[in-house]
Amino acid sequence: MKKILRNIRNISLITVTLLVVLNMGASMSDRIVATAGGTYENLKIFADTLTLVQKNYVEEVDTKELIYGAIRGMLSSLDPHSSFMSPEDFKEMQVETRGSFGGVGIEITMRDKTLTVVSPIEDTPAFKAGIKSKDLIVKIDGEPTKDMTIMEAVKMMRGKVGEKVILTIFREGEAELIDFPIIRAIIKIKSVKHKQIEDNYGYVRISQFQERTTHDLKAALKELKTRGDNFKGLILDLRNNPGGLLDQAVKVTDLFLDEGLIVYTDGRLESQKMQFSAKKNGTEPDYPIVILVNAGSASASEIVAGALQDTGRALILGTKSFGKGSVQTILPLEDGSGVRITTARYYTPKGRSIQAEGIEPDLVVKNVPSASEKPHKAIREKDLKGHMPNGNGKDSGGKEDKKPAEESEEKDTAEAAPVPVMADVEKDQQVKSALDILKSWEIFKKRQDKQAA
């Protein structure tokens, strides 16, 4: 009994510590007084339940694992992006942010409690093996993924370079499950690729926003502009870009703007209310820009597209973006574990919330699939169960559907064809359309100059 009471006191200490950490940086004394009664009443229910489990469960249980499980359940009930990380998971996350690790190279999410591929990362073993967006991962090395967390799945897919991992996939339209044997490799993502398209038109693809993205983008633009005497326009490809570092998204946008708001965040605490604005130094010349987006364009890539769309600096072409407009803050706990909590929403310069809405292209253009490719319905933030509401009253937050599916304004959300590693004007309809717009832009500008003269 003494052991049980000691565990209950530890649970209370952990919970109080967690509450204090979450509310750091603000004057919360009044709010804590107002809610303490209800909080501690509920904590007593939790403690009583833990006592019953420890006393009556068929086998002896690990108290720490029970507490970890309770915290996981608490955070997962908030939204799809809030989560708990054990000490091992927290270390794994820190490895990931360094941008180099042994793995297969896919972005995954949880949809209807099933591990789902958002998109394979370019030039990685998963990409080369044929893993596709919306594939459902039902087994990893023969172990079912049902009830497996994202971090647990990531841990299983990562490992020593050169070793094999088998992903068993359910793919819509296929009669049987498909096994994909994949050899792990160092996943070191080169976030910026570029090439010249025709005469003096540039193409730049950003696959993720990493620490060197702005530096590499500057170098790419410099090279493209020095290849000819008259740089005529840029296609900036953000398709299937899942996001990354906020500061890099701001700096990339700042390259193309000399003033004005880029993005702002809004949350409950003053520390979560931030604004980021453009500076005059280092701004690119005022050449025309077409930005490509699709359902795989999320978070940081939506910040760039939204800011350049709102300011009129670029034309957005493609299909509606993913709609992840929420900010996650990672907070460490004393035992080496950590929590990832959604703390704010992103807003474009004109005050549009990206969350569950995404960026609507100025011109909707879908890629046409080849004969061997099957169109598939894209996954977006609004499709994730329990997603956070938009913040502008446009979305129910995944709690209820305002319209039946057949009455939805967006009747066709299919992403018809995968995005190639690099643009092919002959095969990529979206790139071809973007190039046509840039050419038309040039013709129109020449006509305006002629009339002015």
**What pLDDT digit, counting tens, does each position of 249-272 carry?**
999 999 999 999 999 999 999 999
Determine the pLDDT at residue 7: 44
Which of 143-152, 187-196, 256-265, 409-418 reaches the highest mean pLDDT? 256-265
Determine the pLDDT at residue 349: 98
Domain boundaries, the chain: 2-61, 100-188, 192-444
Whether 21 has a pLDDT exceeding 60, the answer reads: no
Whether 433 has a pLDDT exceeding 90, the answer reads: yes
Q: Can 100-188 and 192-444 be said to share one CATH topology?
A: no
Stretch 181-210: mean pLDDT: 90
Provide the pLDDT confidence category of residue 3 given band limits of 50, 70 and 90. very low
What is the set of active-site residues? 299, 310, 324
Listed as own residue / partner, the contacts of 57-64 with beta carbons closer than 8 Å and 24 or more positions apart are 63/7, 63/10
> What class is the 100-188 domain?
mainly beta
Residue 293 three-state SS: strand
pLDDT one-digit tens code per residue, 365-420: 997 765 555 556 677 888 887 888 888 766 555 544 344 333 333 434 445 455 65
Stretch 85-105: mean pLDDT: 76
User: Which pTM value belongs to this model?
Assistant: 0.72
CA distances from 120 to 103, 188, 330 (A): 12, 14, 25
Greater model confidence, 279 or 448: 279
Whether 453 has a pLDDT exceeding 70, the answer reads: no
Percentage above 90 pLDDT, the chain: 55
Greater model confidence, 349 or 240: 349
Determine the pLDDT at residue 386: 83
Task: Compute the distance between CA of residue 190 and CA of residue 182 in angstroms, rounded to an integer.
Answer: 20
Whether 12 has a pLDDT exceeding 60, the answer reads: no
- Mean pLDDT estimate for the chain: 82
CA distances from 160 to 38, 136, 168 (A): 48, 24, 20
- Euclidean distance between the first and the last CA atom of the chain, given in angstroms as a whole number: 93
Greater model confidence, 220 or 398: 220
Q: 132, 295 in Cβ contact below 8 A?
A: no
Determine the pLDDT at residue 281: 93
Determine the pLDDT at residue 6: 43
Greater model confidence, 331 or 396: 331
Whether 424 has a pLDDT exceeding 90, the answer reads: no
CA distances from 418 to 189, 193, 265, 354, 382 (A): 19, 18, 32, 24, 21
pLDDT one-digit tens code per residue, 350-360: 999 999 999 99
Whether 300 has a pLDDT exceeding 70, the answer reads: yes
Residue 427 CB-half CA count within 13 A: 11
Q: What is the CA radius of gyration of the chain?
A: 24
Stretch 103-107: mean pLDDT: 88
Task: Compute the distance between CA of residue 108 and CA of residue 83 in angstroms, rounded to an integer.
Answer: 14
CATH number assigned to the domain covering 192-444: 3.90.226.10
Determine the pLDDT at residue 404: 35
Task: Compute the distance between CA of residue 202 and CA of residue 225 in angstroms, rounded to an integer.
Answer: 8
Residue 159 backbone zone (phi > 0: left; psi -120 to 50: alpha; other: beta)? left
